[in-house]
Amino acid sequence: MNAPTDEKKNQPVLVTGIAGFIGFHFAKELLIGGYPIIGIDNLSDYYDVSLKTNRLKQLGFSQDQVDTIAAPNPETRSIQLKTPQKLVFYRADLKEKDAVKKIFEAEKPVYVVHLAAQAGVRYSIQDPYIYIDSNIIGFMNILESCRHHPVKHLVFSSSSSVYGANENMPFSVHHNVDHHISLYASTKKSNELMAHTYAHLYQIPTTGLRFFTVYGPWGRPDMAYFNFTEKIIKHIPIEVYNYGKMKRDFTYVDDIAVGLHRVMLKIPGNNPDWDGKNPDPASSRAPYRIFNIGNHQPVDLLYFIQLIEKNLGIKARKKMLPLQKGDVKETYADIEELRHYIGFKPVTTIEEGIKHFIDWYLDYYGIKK
């Protein structure tokens, strides 16, 4: 690990959702870069909590520390690691305003990268209220804390789901995104609107990133590729929606982490050329920008399944089903804006990425081919 520079020692990064899939990988990127990190996570039981605590162990926490972190306790708990740079973890729920406020007061972050959210399009149909608590109220508390404890840059996660019923391909940040088909998407678009308002009112430099189907090692068990892998190994039929006629712009998590790091360091300013008579959704007079971050390479779902089969050496049993509520048939990211802005260029092919995931999965669960 590289020793942190004096400049970076004085630029702590607050990462929400640090025990989550993307948050964990981004934290690894920051550790390599030498930044002090303030991590927040509530260790939600939406999926296997042990996967989250094992991610924390990969960041350097001991088993005893992880056990302390995960033990039931309604109060905010923090543990600091003795590493070349400061790494402190807070177990806290972002919907608790006072808890968030205290963390900002104590840690004084320079950058805030907000990745915590209740994810999942389909789950938002089953339990909509949790999306309001996590994605709306939680984000509101982050915005208010950035207002009262000014930061150099707030970066937050949005989603390709905001494109909803739009069928213009590839999806562009210049497109209208007002026709959502899931509550999850609506909460993410709400985040974009809330962030713009705070950027305008309080001049908080803010960048939103619309993630496109992020995948890779240490992923979320509710994601299709993870679920497919588990069922194929167990010879359980996999559910293939829209009879397989779907495409996704799968984006490897390491490419996302590098992109996040570069975006964090690129502070948006006010755009004097923004025209209120012809408003561009991707920019503003405020210090606010929105970008797609994807692979720009849509993959057929059936080919995606074939790659999992090939790497496992097992043929999948498929249960072909109609399109589910809230799902879109295709996603395809126009990433030209981000390429020009930070030189973003994904380098991991779907073939490489799936192999990396399957290798991790078999090792993590102790499965031999």
Active site residue 184: yes
Q: Which of 184, 198, 215, 225 is catalytic?
A: 184
CA–CA gap between residue 175 and residue 192 (Å, rounded): 14
β-bridge partners, 208:
156, 290
Q: For residue 96, how many C-alpha atoms fall within 13 Å in the half-sphere facing its CB? A: 15
- Which secondary structure element, helix H or strand E, spans residue 127, and what is its range? none
Specify which residues 89 forms β-bridges with: 39, 79
Cα 216 to Cα 361: distance, rounded to the nearest angstrom: 10
Sequence-distant (6+) residues with CB within 8 A of 341 are 263, 266, 289, 291
Other C-beta atoms within 10 Å of 347: how many?
10
Task: Round to whole Å and give the CA distance between 226 and 231.
Answer: 9
Q: What is the CA radius of gyration of the chain?
A: 20
**By C-alpha distance, which of 311, 315, 320, 292 is closest to 350?**
311
Torsion of CA 205, 210, 216, 218, to 10 degrees: 60
Active-site residue set: 184
